[in-house]
Homo-oligomer: A and B are copies of this chain.
């Protein structure tokens, strides 16, 4: 998918979009969330399996609350569906008052799934009616677009959280059945693609479709010449690191990483396990033998960094990745839109003749970068409660670029900044190697 075509598409759907187009988008987005919880029971939707995860039901309620609060209540003057729901479904907006502690989202057996779905219905009716009647002012439309992108982020979070929950079950239940057969059993070869350095612009171009505040302002950065591998690191390559005792060699690790590894007793990526002597992986399709050609997933920053050091390379910076992607114009890598295509796992890079094409730049695995997540020069959070959306998390997290198989397609843009703490590994995160050319 070319950047050019994407931003054209964006303009169609977001920017110059007539309300009715927004209506279609709203319905499609809301429906897609529902389709993701379809394989789940009420119990699956209720439980919180670790502090950083939320129950699926909470995701359903929280995304709905976002529209209720910022559209139905603030813009349309409706009263709240239930006075207590703001307490239950506010995630982290201090400006909007007290709320259910994050660690206790799994205690909310009430309201039940049925009532949360009814709540969705009521809010959707109000929003859709307003869109049909073209009654939303510009500011509300902006909030609506933010809400849709917000809901899309939660779609990926929901899959991450469900995968974690299901991984805790000794029954090894799959989220979904019928995984496609292995496409290729050996990885395509890896090549280095070189990039000139220099001063360049990064960040979102104002007016060019929806972007989050953390992608702005557009600004200049200077990069030294560098090279990137043309594809992601595979399970097979990472397995070699494991077998070379990568998890036992302190010299390969950051100090904080070594401590994390020691405390949590990491010996392989999350969800890898040995079953009857065979190295396996728990996926959304259940537990099955590890496929060497697929991109490695569920690495922490520390593991990605240690692997890169072991490889004699390093992690890329976020701007190396951002500026490398547009140069790969013309690459319509099929791996984007995996989830839309009904595929719930990362796919291997297929062998191609053109070695200089950057592969898997979107839609397989998030790529850890060495960039600490911080504000761009001149960044200011927007006024009001939504100012808490991104800015206050800009500390001790690292940026991931690209996107995973579970990332909604229109989030697959080169300026998109995902971020996690360096010890997190329940997200769909892998890596691509980088190296400096002049060093």
Binding site for B on A (CB under 8 A): 41-47, 49, 57, 84, 87-88, 92, 94-95, 100, 104, 106-113, 165, 168-171, 173, 199, 217, 219-224, 250-251, 253-258, 301-302, 370-372, 374-375, 377-380, 387-388, 392-396, 422, 436, 438-439
Contact = CB atoms under 8 A, between A and B. Distances in A.
Contacts of A374: 370-372
A224 B396 contact: no
A392 B255 contact: yes
Contacts of A110: 41, 43-44, 169, 171, 173
Contacts of A94: 250-251, 258
25 contacts: A43-B57, A43-B109, A46-B46, A46-B47, A47-B107, A47-B109, A49-B107, A87-B170, A100-B170, A104-B168, A107-B165, A107-B168, A108-B169, A109-B165, A220-B224, A222-B222, A223-B377, A224-B377, A224-B378, A251-B387, A301-B395, A370-B374, A377-B439, A379-B439, A380-B439
Given A47-B107, A224-B219, A84 B171 contact: yes
A394 B224 CA distance: 20
Contacts of A44: 109-110
B170 A92 contact: no
Contacts of A221: 222
A41 B112 contact: yes
Given A94-B251, A251-B94, A395-B422, A41 B109 contact: yes
Contacts of A169: 107-110
Number of copies: 4
Contacts of A84: 170-171
Given A42-B41, A170-B100, A254 B395 contact: yes
A395 B257 contact: yes
Contacts of A395: 254-257, 301-302, 422
Nearest to A391: B254
Nearest to A46: B43
A301 B46 CA distance: 34
A358 to B, nearest CB: 21
Contact of A372 (B42, B254, B372, B439): B372
A45 B302 CA distance: 36
For the complex of A and B, the 8 pairs showing the least CB-CB separation, nearest first, are: A372-B372, A378-B439, A94-B250, A43-B109, A43-B46, A255-B392, A107-B168, A44-B109
A98 to B, nearest CB: 9
Contacts of A49: 107
A196 to B, nearest CB: 14
Contacts of A438: 378
Contacts of A173: 110
